[in-house]
Amino acid sequence: MRNLVRLLLLVSVIMALFLGTNVLRSLGYMMGEDSAPAWQKLFPALYPMVLVFILVLARSNFNTLYKRKTIEVHFLAFMLFFLAMLKFFNALSSISFIPNTILLPILFSISLDERDISNVLKIKRLLLTFFLINSSLAIVERLRNAHFFESNVENLDFFGFRSTALHDHPLNNAFITSIIMVFILFSTMKLHVRYAYYMLGYFSIICFGSRSSILICTLVLVIYFFKDLFSNVQVHKKLLTVLFMVVSVTAVSYALLYTSIGERLMNKLYMDESANVRLNVFDIFDMLDSSNLIWGNSSEAVEKFTSEIGIATIENFWIGWIIRFGLVVAPILIFFLVKFIAKLLATYPTISKSIITLALLGIASTNNSLSSNTIILSIFVLCSYAFNTQRKYRLVRVNVPIKTRRVDIDEQDPIPVLLTSFHS
């Protein structure tokens, strides 16, 4: 059963990473279409994950599992209760983002075992492979001025061409890329490898055209730069950091000023319509009576409010949750979300967990990703396990006539293995 759980878990990870909504639509799975059947409104990755969760429950001692995954179990129980209440009041319309955006990452976290070194390393390699492919596709799309997969995003290129790569909406893509970038930067991979990944990701979020992601990733890099420069790291690492900053500033400046990559950004540095949307959204509160504000609104009511103030969507998930779910449920959701994030990063160094958390919440506050169908929290969960800098050890038997020693099985992987040798 353990091997079956591992296999299904990896299948779910691959689906979550590589089957974005635009890719799925090209395969006939009409994710994101109002006319799609109910089963196609859920991410394909959710189906094997439900089976994984059932198998994990079947083979685990619940008390032990509960002690290890207390926050996840409480979060899952609340979300299932909330969905049951929505069903009872016949208010389940347009809430597919709850299982896709919130339940899927909870199931990932419950099912993932940080002690299973083999699976953690496989997930890490899948994340890095996805990062390379998605970022490269974004850059190639921008250079070709054409998308590989047809997008369903309205007015996608209204302010200039934006890449869509494997996950359709440019802002969603940029969010996903930014989170992986930050985890990589604070991982234990070799410094020059981390910088290479970061630079590739940085160019891709320029192609996605997300100014908030670019700003936050720039701030993260500057903080990391000064942290390294004034810490007790080796001199050659400080020189490498300085060299990287000089090269990156030069490369990014050239790309923005003299190539088509930064066209949308350079044309829209002033307060444009998309920035005004984030301010106009507060006008919705003037339309809500006390009952709507406390108990929330239907998706049809929210669409009516946004239409009346002339915006397409609420580009701030905090406000989106409050308006949609009300002041009773939204604070509970936010409480569990914060506790969930804190649990995932509990073993990380203080500065790492602080910057990663601020990056996640900072970018989330500038778009509607967490109020729509996105795998960003699932990516966050996977990264928190795969790039954990806390060293973990496991006894492994090998039949080689050498003394017991500790060996890093991969210098780029954060998990060393304690190899105990035995004479044959």
- Residues 65-93: tens digit of each pLDDT: 899 999 999 999 999 999 988 888 777 66
How many beta carbons lie within 10 A of that of residue 302, not counting itself?
A: 20
Please give the residue that has the higher pLDDT: either 290 or 387.
387
Lowest mean pLDDT among 7-11, 356-360, 394-398: 394-398
Encoding tokens for residue 187?
A: 């991982």
How far apart CA 150 and CA 30 sit, in angstroms, is: 12
pLDDT average, residue stretch 108-115: 88
Q: How far apart are CA 410 and CA 398, in angstroms?
A: 17
Tokens representing residue 210 in the block: 């997300």
State the DSSP code for 34.
Answer: T
240 — pLDDT class (breaks 50, 70, 90): confident
Residues ≥6 apart with Cβ < 8 Å to 296: 323, 324, 325, 326, 328, 329, 330
> Does residue 28 register a pLDDT over 70?
yes
What is the percentage of the chain residues whose pLDDT exceeds 70? 81
Three-state SS for 96? Answer: coil
Compute the distance between CA of residue 259 and CA of residue 171 in angstroms, rounded to an integer: 21
E strands in 311-376: none
Is residue 416 pLDDT above 60, yes or no? Answer: no
Task: Tell me the mean pLDDT in the region 1-29.
Answer: 93
What tokens does 200 get? 């590739």
Residue 366 pLDDT exceeds 80: yes
User: Could you give the dihedral angle defined by the CA atoms of residues 207, 212, 214 and 220, in that order, rounded to the nearest 10 degrees?
Assistant: -150
Q: What's the predicted TM-score (pTM) here?
A: 0.86
Residue 271 has pLDDT above 70, yes or no: no
Give residue 374's pLDDT.
92
Give pLDDT, residue 391.
46
Tell me the mean pLDDT in the region 44-73: 92
Position 390 scores a pLDDT of: 61
Contacts of 95 (CB under 8 A, 6+ apart): 83, 86, 299
How does strand 417-421 pair with strand 395-398?
A: parallel
Closest by alpha carbon to 408, among 190, 217, 260, 238? 190
What are the residue ranges spanned by the domains of the chain? 2-386, 393-424
Other beta carbons less than 10 A from residue 155's beta carbon = 7
In the predicted model, what is the mean pLDDT of the chain?
82
More confident residue, 258 or 302: 302
Q: Where residue 182 falls among pLDDT bands split at 50, 70, 90?
A: very high
In this predicted structure, the answer to whether residue 261 has a pLDDT above a threshold of 90 is no
- Return the number of other C-beta atoms located less than 10 Å from residue 183's C-beta: 26
Q: What is the pLDDT of residue 23?
A: 94
- Confidence bin at 282 (pLDDT 50/70/90): confident
pLDDT of residue 423: 34
Residue of higher predicted confidence among 269 and 314 = 314
Assess contact for 161 and 145: CB atoms under 8 A: yes
Judge contact between 175 and 181, C-beta under 8 A: no
